[in-house]
Amino acid sequence: MPPRRKLSDLDRRRAIGWLQDGVAARQVAQRLAVAPSVIIRLKQRFQATGRVQERQRSQWSAQSHHTKRGSLHATKNGYG
């Protein structure tokens, strides 16, 4: 599998254009050096919303989320 990377706005628009021109999702993924699942999710998002922009993300970092989950788990087990 290719290394993980985010698609730029331009690459997302290119991908949708190629898909609309009949290029297979696997071929689009190869052209952009991403996993086919990235292109499939992009296609699904475009079909549902008509947009190619990334969805808004929470302001929480992965570390703070992990810490909160850990402390909640500890509380449930009677450690906190």
40-69 pLDDT, tens digit per residue, is 999 999 999 888 877 666 766 555 555 555
Q: How far apart are CA 9 and CA 14, in angstroms?
A: 9
Q: What CATH number does the domain located at 1-55 have?
A: 1.10.10.10
Which residue is it, tokens 């898909």? 19
This prediction has a pTM of 0.63
Over residues 2-29, the pLDDT tens digits come to 556 788 999 999 999 999 999 999 999 9
DSSP assignments along 5-34, one per residue: -PPPHHHHHHHHHHHHTT--HHHHHHHHTS
